[in-house]
Amino acid sequence: MDNFGSTRSAMIVGAGVAGLTAATALARKGWQVEIAEASPYRATAGWGLCLTGPSLRALDVLGLADACSAAGYGMSVITHVDVDGTPSDQVDLPRLIGAQRPAMVGIARPELHRILHAEAERCGVVVRNGLTVTAVDQQGDLVDVRLSDGTDRQVTLLVGADGIRSSVRDLMGLETPVDYLGQMVWRALVPRPEWATGIHQFAGKVNTAGLVPISSNRAYVFLTENGVPPNVLPDSELASRLADLLTAFPGRVTEIRPLVSASGSVVRRPVHTAFLTGAWNRGNCVVIGDAAHAPAPQMASGAALAIEDGLVLAEELERHETVGTGIEAFVERRAQRCRTLVATSVTIAGLEQAQRHSEAYPLVDACHRQMAQPV
Ligand SMILES: Cc1cc2nc3c(=O)[nH]c(=O)nc-3n(C[C@H](O)[C@H](O)[C@H](O)COP(=O)(O)OP(=O)(O)OC[C@H]3O[C@@H](n4cnc5c(N)ncnc54)[C@H](O)[C@@H]3O)c2cc1C
């Protein structure tokens, strides 16, 4: 049966990278889109992230790559530094959006979200904060959705873009384990040192660290702490604890350490991964982004997969007669790429923990080149 004879309406759960980009892509193809976002706040807190080539390529399709570049810091080289503090090699990343534009962009998360929000709303998407979905029931070609404010919607498509702990995935009965990889990742916002014009990655005897510029005057320091339980530390201790962990690194990290001690913005998060090995949908309900495939952050590519998902979903729904067949084509196009990235990120995390950095770097490089292939 043709679902597209009348209004095409979508409810998206989660206004993260996946939800906002899927909403924009669908709205541009004529869908009426509403987003239910659990957080009562419009702004996203947090550290920066790296938009790699595939992220920029997908954002460019939405016309947003240059806005992200302007709000962030464009760069094209990763410098790997050995445990003794000497640079071991430099990797030139492929420039997927043209030789004159950067291979990747470091950006503060609130800046990225501001850009994605503004574009979604410009396209007519309605974003409701402080709202979630409590029940889902498919009736024929329509999905009945009950929201946490007691109101109901009947839509042609429900998209769960609510992250690694997706409650939409649970409501759909799609079970997947969320694995803890034995690592905690740290991020600290610091002033950008002048020499930091690309990503630096520092191998350590126990942990790995690095620096990513996110604007002309700001950067974030990252550190991956190996072999620790996923415990929570008081916020007041984070800056000094991270500075302590950085004492093990020689070379340029000694310049970064005092910046971290003085940073007012330090976060520490457990490295979790998840991948839905079976179906990503039940009828006209589908999960995308981290809700379907959450890699470890080592490949800096979770946002790329999330943005690509939104574009491919909108494209396949446009191409197919029914929402069901469009969703099937979407999953068919996405599953292998996402599985490869999640699996590779898990392998890299293992190599880091085993101090096998010389094996991890080429794997990261090879995976970036694989991700550079067309979606
Ligand atoms: C420390 C760290 C560093 C990272 N660095 C990078 C990087 O440099 N580059 C990169 O590409 N990727 C990076 N990633 C991965 C990237 O952040 C994720 O892959 C990406 O954010 C996934 O987007 P998403 O929209 O699927 O999920 P999320 O970003 O998790 O967004 C989900 C949204 O849904 C909302 N939500 C949750 N539950 C509900 C509910 N029940 N109802 C309604 N709303 C709900 C949340 O509030 C949130 O707004 C990193 C991840 C971590 C943890």
pLDDT tens-digit series, residues 276-321:
999 999 999 999 999 999 999 989 999 999 999 999 999 999 999 9
Which atom of ligand 1 sits closest to the CA of residue 269? 1
> In 3-state terms, what secondary structure has residue 98?
coil
Q: What is the mean pLDDT of the chain?
A: 94
- C-alpha–C-alpha distance, residues 95 and 99, integer Å: 6
Task: Indicate whether residue 13 lines ligand 1 (CB < 6 A).
Answer: yes
pLDDT bracket for residue 52 (50, 70, 90): very high
Distance from residue 246's CA to the centre of ligand 1 (Å): 26
The answer on pLDDT for 4 being more than 60 is no
Task: Indicate whether residue 360 lines ligand 1 (CB < 6 A).
Answer: no
Is residue 204 in some structural domain?
Answer: no
pLDDT of residue 93: 86
pLDDT bracket for residue 375 (50, 70, 90): confident
Distance from residue 158's CA to the centre of ligand 1 (Å): 18
Is residue 284 in some structural domain?
Answer: yes
Q: 347 burial class (0-12, 13-18, 19+ CB within 10 angstroms)?
A: middle
Q: Please choose from 51, 73, 162 the residue to mutate so as to test ligand 1's pocket, defined by most ligand atoms within 8 A of CB.
A: 162
pLDDT of residue 361: 82
pLDDT of residue 5: 46
pLDDT bracket for residue 186 (50, 70, 90): very high
Average pLDDT of span 258-268: 94
Task: Indicate whether residue 167 lines ligand 1 (CB < 6 A).
Answer: yes
- C-alpha–C-alpha distance, residues 7 and 25, integer Å: 16
The answer on pLDDT for 1 being more than 60 is no
pLDDT of residue 45: 72
The answer on pLDDT for 3 being more than 50 is no
293: domain range? 3-52+59-71+107-178+272-371
Q: Please choose from 12, 17, 133 the residue to mutate so as to test ligand 1's pocket, defined by most ligand atoms within 8 A of CB.
A: 17
| Cβ atoms within 10 Å, residue 130 | 12
- C-alpha–C-alpha distance, residues 291 and 307, integer Å: 13
Q: 231 burial class (0-12, 13-18, 19+ CB within 10 angstroms)?
A: exposed
The residue whose CA is least distant from atom 18 of ligand 1 is: 302
The residue whose CA is least distant from atom 27 of ligand 1 is: 163
Nearest Cα to Cα of residue 323 among 31, 102, 96? 31
pLDDT bracket for residue 98 (50, 70, 90): very high
Distance from residue 1's CA to the centre of ligand 1 (Å): 35
Q: 140 burial class (0-12, 13-18, 19+ CB within 10 angstroms)?
A: exposed
Is residue 188 in some structural domain?
Answer: no
Distance from residue 167's CA to the centre of ligand 1 (Å): 14
CA atoms within 13 A on the CB side of 126: 9
- C-alpha–C-alpha distance, residues 245 and 260, integer Å: 11
Task: Indicate whether residue 68 lines ligand 1 (CB < 6 A).
Answer: no
- The number of domains in the chain is 1
φ, ψ for residue 304, nearest 5 deg: -60, -50
Distance from residue 87's CA to the centre of ligand 1 (Å): 32
> In 3-state terms, what secondary structure has residue 322?
coil
Question: Percentage of residues in the chain with pLDDT exceeding 90?
Answer: 86
pLDDT bracket for residue 191 (50, 70, 90): very high
pLDDT of residue 6: 58
- C-alpha–C-alpha distance, residues 282 and 287, integer Å: 9
pLDDT of residue 14: 98
Task: Indicate whether residue 15 lines ligand 1 (CB < 6 A).
Answer: yes
Q: Please choose from 11, 13, 47, 49 the residue to mutate so as to test ligand 1's pocket, defined by most ligand atoms within 8 A of CB.
A: 49
Distance from residue 366's CA to the centre of ligand 1 (Å): 24
Write the CATH number for 138: 3.50.50.60
Is residue 348 in some structural domain?
Answer: yes
pLDDT of residue 229: 92
Task: Indicate whether residue 106 lines ligand 1 (CB < 6 A).
Answer: no
Is residue 324 in some structural domain?
Answer: yes
Is residue 261 in some structural domain?
Answer: no
Average pLDDT of span 116-140: 97
The answer on pLDDT for 158 being more than 50 is yes
Distance from residue 353's CA to the centre of ligand 1 (Å): 24
Average pLDDT of span 82-101: 92
The answer on pLDDT for 44 being more than 80 is no
Is residue 115 in some structural domain?
Answer: yes
Distance from residue 93's CA to the centre of ligand 1 (Å): 24
Is residue 120 in some structural domain?
Answer: yes
Task: Indicate whether residue 39 lines ligand 1 (CB < 6 A).
Answer: yes
